Amino acid sequence: MKETDEWPIGRRIVAIRPLHESELEACGWDAWQDEAAVCILLDDGSKLWPSADPELNQSGWMLGWKKGELYDLYR
């Protein structure tokens, strides 16, 4: 796994969607176990997704905060 301190700074989020089966498989995750796994698509075609830890033991839940309100970005 590569490390970076530059990318994805400056990229723009264009969509958020559930991970596709092939993306789940790339992480070693099962669809039934990680149904909340989200993919953040960036303007350069790259993708981000949260993990519970660096070892990819399971997906991470994506939350947001805006104007004093907590948002669930998957639902």
**pLDDT at position 1 over 90:** no
Report whether 65 contacts 56 (CB < 8 A): no
Structure tokens at 15: 């969509």
φ, ψ of residue 40 in degrees (nearest 5): -105, 115
Which pTM was predicted?
0.75
Tell me the pLDDT tens digit for each residue of 30-61: 877 666 788 999 999 999 988 888 888 888 87
Q: Domain extents for the chain?
A: 13-72
Burial bucket for residue 50 (CB in 10 Å: 0-12, 13-18, 19+): middle
